[in-house]
Amino acid sequence: MTGTSDADAPVALRRTSPPIIAVDAMGGDNAPEEIVKGAVLAVREMGLRIVLVGRRTEIASLLAEHDALRAIPVVHAEDSLAMHEGALASWRRPRSSAAVACRLIRRGDADALVSAGSTGGVVATSTVRLRTQHGVLRPALAVTLPTGETPTVMVDAGANADAKPEMLVQFAHLGCAYAQTAFGVQRPRVGLLTIGSEPGKGNKLVRRTAELLSAAAEDSTVMDYRGNIEGHDLLARKVDVIVTDGHTGNVALKTVEGTAAFAMDAVRTALTSSVAAKAGAVLQRRALRGLRERLDSETYGGAALLGLNGTVVIAHGDSRARGIAHACRLAHDLAAGDIGEQVRRRVHTRPSGWLHRLAQSEGPAEGR
Amino acid sequence: MTGTSDADAPVALRRTSPPIIAVDAMGGDNAPEEIVKGAVLAVREMGLRIVLVGRRTEIASLLAEHDALRAIPVVHAEDSLAMHEGALASWRRPRSSAAVACRLIRRGDADALVSAGSTGGVVATSTVRLRTQHGVLRPALAVTLPTGETPTVMVDAGANADAKPEMLVQFAHLGCAYAQTAFGVQRPRVGLLTIGSEPGKGNKLVRRTAELLSAAAEDSTVMDYRGNIEGHDLLARKVDVIVTDGHTGNVALKTVEGTAAFAMDAVRTALTSSVAAKAGAVLQRRALRGLRERLDSETYGGAALLGLNGTVVIAHGDSRARGIAHACRLAHDLAAGDIGEQVRRRVHTRPSGWLHRLAQSEGPAEGR
């Protein structure tokens, strides 16, 4: 890949061509083997356009194993983020594979980044290098909960541990843009995650956000605000977008994962605890396998970091090839559907006056 | 029940006699039928001492159905809290069954309250009428997560949507007192619920609390602080006590309940989706029933409101007789183990200087 031809093309032309996904080959517990394998899957089974970023010789020899040396170009990056590295990594490692992938996006040589690296490191690196879209206060992590055919989107799943009410209102818009782009939901129903179903329930952040969302929903045809959502409604398909701060959202997401794993383990134990049950289990192996796949986070491709100049998808750290391929497909769908433009429109068509007045009346938010 | 004999007895004598549980007969979705039935179970199967509080004639006729008129005394209360009533109910309804039960405790005629009424209403009513123990900043809701033989305790599960770091430190002590009293854990391991395993991860509240807990654990032989706990560790038995604010804790608890129910539904569907699977399901019915019981919140008796002058257990709003009986047993165990004294000791043996200095350096906490 020479890297200049795409960047020189006019924007309108580039949009109509399929997006190019830059995959961080060095990020994740199973890097680079499973990442490269996943990229090969994405190209062969899904027909996506992929660039692998990382240590060239290592990646090339893996590609050779799959007989895919000519199917996927490689961009060299000598450094990589360690799994334990957090926000500081973005400054410390300008030559990391994630940072080099971001540079490809900025230069117009790629449209999206997929990484299974540490969430903190990838969020920080891509925020610093891709910058937030004009008018977006903070980028936010959107995840899809395994609720059925059309999954429910939860924003923020961990990018902003401390959030302000006006950020949460934007998270709602980011989530709506996501639901629309990835799943074709025309008028997403929005719920606010809190600790009671009645209005006025929750902490200060939620109570203020509820006021702002009610106001925003009044003069908008694109958001259908449905009020409070509780923890037991997360998988109940009551809404399309669940809005929360990054602390609560991350705890809730991991609680879903942990409880599903716990329940499946318990079912497995129960089903093999007696001779009769064991005989039954043999008959049911296939049915249970299908269920496990449904609850499996790999199928959903990972979290999207929304609000940046470029599409970013963060796969689970322990993703295997199939998970990486699904993350690539998600990145492709978001970039092809021009999620950036969807976000821009939603953030800019808000009556600009009231949000900023409200934001200022709360005092300056730190870190903006 | 004449009500004066117990109150007149010296404290030391009263402690050695079995505690008396005042059961709010009018609280909960299935009141008063299932509540009365649960009280009868608690007396007959568990040998507990119960007083029922509520509309006398209604309760008496239900007791007569169970042939238990002479086994359980009734204290009349004409009013009751509606299920949707929140904090204001404590002021509006001084003659509610929950308020009258609290009066019994204050007078020394009962040791504990069990109610399946609305959490907000019961928390507010009992906080106002029983008052917080000396030195306790805020009462907190402790729940037990269904992790196995010795459950993990989570505090706070929803009493304080907005909390301060020094409150969370006290929640840790309340949770330790609970784990010790109810489950005999001598040196409870304490974890702080947040969004990463490394120190320094989480929102401001958590980061400050982590500093305080580390300091508290240094000069203490009664708490074993193990650092951060994530959402997927809730059911992993890594610690005995999980500390969190009421907003995060309530969302996490309800997410566990919702996900477990979702997974069990999905298992049931998977197991009956084909003829072979259906045949298997018949063989496994008993195994699955045992599991459902384990995940069933009824078995765990409900949430305990800790830090008040008197034991308060809040059962699930939809509790049936068995759930109420388990709640009564929990209340009995906590009162018999003198949880109040355990809390007093823990809160008072803290080096009083540092906590209050720290609390003050943060500015006055509202509502204290």
| A280 interaction partners in chain B (CB closer than 8 Å) | 279-284
**Probe site for chain A from B123, B232, B264, B294 (most A CB atoms < 10 A):** B232
CA B255 – CA A233 distance, rounded (Å): 8
Measured in residues, chain A has a length of 368
Whether B236 and A258 lie within 8 Å, measured CB to CB: yes
Residue pair A80/A97 in contact (Cβ under 8 Å)? The answer is yes
| A270 interaction partners in chain B (CB closer than 8 Å) | 284, 287-288, 290-291
Task: Report the alpha-carbon angle B116-B313-B100, nearest 5.
Answer: 70
CB contact set of B223 (below 8 Å; sequence gap of 6+):
B172, B173, B176, B187, B188, B190, B216, B217
Whether B251 and A248 lie within 8 Å, measured CB to CB: yes
Count CA within 13 A, CB hemisphere, residue A87: 11
CB nearest to A231's CB, from B162, B254, B266: B254
CB nearest to B259's CB, from A235, A267, A279: A235
Whether A202 and B234 lie within 8 Å, measured CB to CB: no
The neighbouring-strand residues paired with A311 are: A112
User: For the residues of B21-55, what is the DSSP string, one character each?
Assistant: EEEETT-STTTTHHHHHHHHHHHHHH--EEEEEE-
pLDDT of residue A92: 79
CB nearest to B258's CB, from A206, A233, A271: A233
CB contact set of A236 (below 8 Å; sequence gap of 6+):
A147, B258, B262
**Probe site for chain A from B209, B251, B296 (most A CB atoms < 10 A):** B251
In this structure, the strands spanning B241-243 and B189-193 are parallel
Taking only the tens place, the pLDDT of each residue in B282-331 is: 656 666 666 666 666 555 678 999 999 999 999 988 899 999 999 999 99
Residue A16, token pair as written in the block: 């109509």
CA-wise closest residue to A93 among A140, A167, A27, A159: A27
A15 min Cα distance to partner chain B (Å): 37
The continuous run of DSSP H or E covering A52 comes out as strand A49-54
| A250 interaction partners in chain B (CB closer than 8 Å) | 195, 231
Place of tokens 């388990």: B326
Residue pair B240/B148 in contact (Cβ under 8 Å)? The answer is no
Whether A271 and B284 lie within 8 Å, measured CB to CB: yes
CA A350 – CA B29 distance, rounded (Å): 43
A vs B: CB pairs below 8 A: 204
| A267 interaction partners in chain B (CB closer than 8 Å) | 263, 267, 288, 291
CA A215 – CA B308 distance, rounded (Å): 40
**Probe site for chain A from B284, B286, B296, B299 (most A CB atoms < 10 A):** B284
Residue A149, token pair as written in the block: 């055919």
Task: Report the alpha-carbon angle A345-A144-A286, nearest 5.
Answer: 150
- Letter for the amino acid at A219? D
**Chain B residue nearest residue A258, CA to CA:** B232
pLDDT of residue B201: 86
Place of tokens 């808000």: A350
B233 min Cα distance to partner chain A (Å): 7
CA B201 – CA B47 distance, rounded (Å): 48
**Probe site for chain A from B248, B259, B282, B299 (most A CB atoms < 10 A):** B259
B82 min Cα distance to partner chain A (Å): 14
B67 min Cα distance to partner chain A (Å): 39
Give pLDDT < 70 ranges for chain B. Answer: 1-16, 86-87, 89, 219-220, 222, 271, 273-300, 349-368
**Probe site for chain B from A206, A247, A293 (most B CB atoms < 10 A):** A247
User: For the residues of A327-365, what is the DSSP string, one character each?
Assistant: HHHHHHHHHHTTHHHHHHHHHHHS-HHHHHHHHHHT-PP
| Domains (range + CATH), chain B | 1-136+307-337 (3.40.718.10), 137-299 (3.40.718.10)
CA A41 – CA A48 distance, rounded (Å): 9
pLDDT of residue A251: 96
B198 min Cα distance to partner chain A (Å): 8
Residue pair A217/A224 in contact (Cβ under 8 Å)? The answer is yes
Whether B271 and A284 lie within 8 Å, measured CB to CB: yes
Residue B216, token pair as written in the block: 């508290």
- Letter for the amino acid at B178? Y
CA A119 – CA A89 distance, rounded (Å): 11
Whether B266 and A230 lie within 8 Å, measured CB to CB: no
Whether A281 and B284 lie within 8 Å, measured CB to CB: yes
Helix (H, G, I), strand (E, B) or coil at B228: strand
In this structure, the strands spanning B303-306 and B311-314 are antiparallel
CA B91 – CA B84 distance, rounded (Å): 15
Q: B333, exposed or middle or buried, with CB in 10 Å at 0-12, 13-18, 19+?
A: buried
| A204 interaction partners in chain B (CB closer than 8 Å) | 161-162
Whether A279 and B283 lie within 8 Å, measured CB to CB: yes
Whether B288 and A294 lie within 8 Å, measured CB to CB: no
pLDDT of residue A352: 46
CB nearest to B256's CB, from A233, A250, A255: A255
Whether B232 and A255 lie within 8 Å, measured CB to CB: yes
**Chain B residue nearest residue A274, CA to CA:** B287
pLDDT of residue A10: 39
Whether A264 and B263 lie within 8 Å, measured CB to CB: yes
Query: What DSSP designation does B88 have?
Result: T
Residue A165, token pair as written in the block: 């009410």
Cα dihedral A95, A133, A142, A232 sign = positive
Whether A259 and B264 lie within 8 Å, measured CB to CB: no
User: A28: left (phi > 0), else alpha (psi -120 to 50), else beta?
Assistant: left
B276 min Cα distance to partner chain A (Å): 5
CB nearest to B198's CB, from A84, A196, A255: A84
The neighbouring-strand residues paired with A191 are: A242
CB nearest to B277's CB, from A84, A230, A283: A283
Taking only the tens place, the pLDDT of each residue in A8-56 is: 333 433 456 899 999 999 999 999 999 999 999 999 999 999 999 999 9
CA-wise closest residue to B233 among B218, B247, B244, B222: B244
CB contact set of A339 (below 8 Å; sequence gap of 6+):
A177, A178, A181, A182, A304, A306, A311
Alpha-carbon separation of residue A18 from A13, A112, A185, B54 (angstroms) = 10, 11, 22, 70
Residue A199, token pair as written in the block: 């209005």
pLDDT of residue A242: 97
The continuous run of DSSP H or E covering B179 comes out as helix B165-183
Whether A255 and B262 lie within 8 Å, measured CB to CB: no
**Chain A residue nearest residue B147, CA to CA:** A262
pLDDT of residue B292: 62
Place of tokens 């995840």: A143
Taking only the tens place, the pLDDT of each residue in A159-207 is: 999 999 999 999 999 999 999 999 999 999 999 999 988 888 899 999 9
CA B53 – CA B66 distance, rounded (Å): 17
Whether B250 and A263 lie within 8 Å, measured CB to CB: no
Alpha-carbon separation of residue B41 from A137, B49, B107, B311, B322 (angstroms) = 57, 11, 26, 20, 7
Taking only the tens place, the pLDDT of each residue in B59-101 is: 999 999 999 999 999 999 999 887 777 667 677 788 999 999 9
Over chain A (368 residues), the average pLDDT of each successive run of 10 is 39 65 96 97 97 97 96 95 73 90 96 94 93 96 84 94 96 96 93 90 94 84 88 92 97 91 78 65 62 60 93 93 95 96 83 49 41
Q: What are phi and psi of B82, to 5 degrees?
A: -75, 155
